[in-house]
Chains A and B, each alone.
Chain A
Amino acid sequence: MSQWLLSRRVLSVLLLFLCAPAFAQDKTIVVASTTSTQDSGLFGYLLPIVQDKIGVEVKVLAQGTGQALDTARRGDADVVFVHAKSAEEKFLAEGFGVKRYPVMYNDFVIVGPRDDPAGIRGGGVATALQAIKTRQAPFISRGDRSGTHIAELALWKDAGIDIARDRGDWYKEIGQGMGAALNTASAIGAYVLSDRGTWLSFKNRGDLAILVEGDKRLFNQYGVMLVNPAKHPSVKTEAGQRFIDWLVSPEGQNEIAGYKIEGKQLFYPNADDPNA
């Protein structure tokens, strides 16, 4: 019988240990964000600074813009930090967000095999996508309603291509994050749209290289919003707003500008641009 008692004691200790963090303090917030902010290493760099300067502990869910906004709609996050202005404005119009603050931008790039079978190197986005479609060169789509996926769909449309109709075997929707899309592109030698931050920090590049960049259509704006406490009373308004205020403050903006990989700046702060 003593073994039973022993195992029960072990169990209760384990359960206690597991339950303890459930009584989360008001200084801990959940931020639903995108895979790019995590995979690029930005949060790993920024969060210890946030904890240090304003005493807010941030738990990050790296989900992709569509899923992050849905998580917030259900009341399971306090703040959303995403990159698809149209989806963010819809979220606000539905009353789930309090206010949208522009935070920073970087840009998208089209990445593909170095030997560039569709011949898109150095051109504009629209001609590149048209060439990929005409040549039926393999193209990896995120297919997950993420900010990058939403941007990709808009770029096809801008290029005059109805991708829902014109897609073929060459257009592969993988339904996964940016890293997985780059891994797949690297494995089969395909083209893919990536945010620059994730690309710069990505390690399994294989034969991939940046082929198209600098087109102004490739602009990628990030915004942050507090989830509306009127919809979800569980939202930690005070700590959430403090985090947002810091991100858009001169100090927070400076820290964002200071994040670099191999000497290259990944994100450009622009909280002072009301139209961003």
Chain B
Amino acid sequence: MNDFAQALQIATGLVGQFDAELRDIVILSLAVSLSASCLAFVLGSPLGTALAVYRLPGKAALIVAANALLGLPPVVVGLVVYLLLSRSGPFGFLGLLFTPTAMALAQTILCIPIVVALVHRMTADLWATYGDGLLVDGASRVRAIATLMNIGRERLMVAFLAAFGRAIAEVGAIIIVGGNIRGYTRTMTTSIALETSKGELSFALALGIILVTLSMAVSALSHLFSRALNR
């Protein structure tokens, strides 16, 4: 238990002193994971809703694929993005490897299937309830997608949070494409991995405590935000 007490003490100490390096690491973690989950949400939620609304050939296959990719291993995504962005890869000329942009890109790929699968699941129910009514009212299917997303916005928030949760928690993809460079691509999770490898177990756990607290704060803020939307 000593380890845990010590970790808690270090965590409060770090937060209390407002440690500058920790602050930058926290900002980078949030910036990368929020960009990734926002981008995945913007791309994935209309797609998920469209899968509920349209009858397309191959639709079932897309839904199965999105659900299967919920378990996409971060380390595989990291490796693929690494090979694409490497100077020897097809997009090497962009010079993006080992940058925060590369990290956000990898996490976006991880998050998109989550958003598509969850949003499809949620809006399919709504479509069953409201679909006929919307079409009778003369709405086009494009219009119907917008209306459904509006009706289900509170549920969509859950999809966004699931995507954010995936992004902020993962380490496998960003440590490969970001390189864990101090002061540049080092995030909360890659710091925890590094401190563990240095044998600074209590310090690593302290960072873990701060990370979990942060995710809780983001979740709480999102709920407040979605409640405000419904006023």
Contact = CB atoms under 8 A, between A and B. Distances in A.
A7 interface: yes
A179 interface: yes
B200 interface: yes
A143 interface: no
Interface residues of B, number: 33
A204 B201 contact: yes
Given A59-B98, A59-B184, A15 B35 contact: yes
A234 B95 contact: yes
A150 to B, nearest CB: 19
A84 to B, nearest CB: 20
A183 interface: yes
A19 B198 CA distance: 31
Contacts of B69: none
Given A14-B34, A61-B98, A74-B87, A204 B179 contact: no
Contact of B86 (A22, A76, A176, A201): A76
Nearest to A183: B199
Interface string A112-147: 000000000000000000000000000000000000
Given A39-B197, A205-B199, A75 B87 contact: yes
B109 to A, nearest CB: 15
B98 A30 contact: yes
B26 to A, nearest CB: 14
Contacts of B184: 21, 59
Interface string A47-89: 0000000000001111000000000001110000000000000
B35 A203 contact: no
B217 to A, nearest CB: 17
A203 B198 contact: yes
Interface stretch (B60-68, B99-107, B135-143, B164-172): B99-107
Given A15-B35, A18-B31, A39 B198 contact: yes
A208 B199 CA distance: 13
Interface string B45-75: 0000000000000000000000000000000
5 contacts: A7-B38, A19-B101, A21-B100, A74-B87, A75-B86
Interface of B: 31-32, 34-35, 38-39, 42, 86-89, 92, 94-101, 104, 179-182, 184, 196-201, 229
Given A22-B94, A30-B98, A180-B196, 15 more contacts: A3-B229, A15-B39, A18-B35, A18-B100, A24-B99, A30-B181, A39-B198, A59-B179, A60-B182, A76-B98, A178-B197, A180-B197, A182-B199, A183-B197, A202-B198
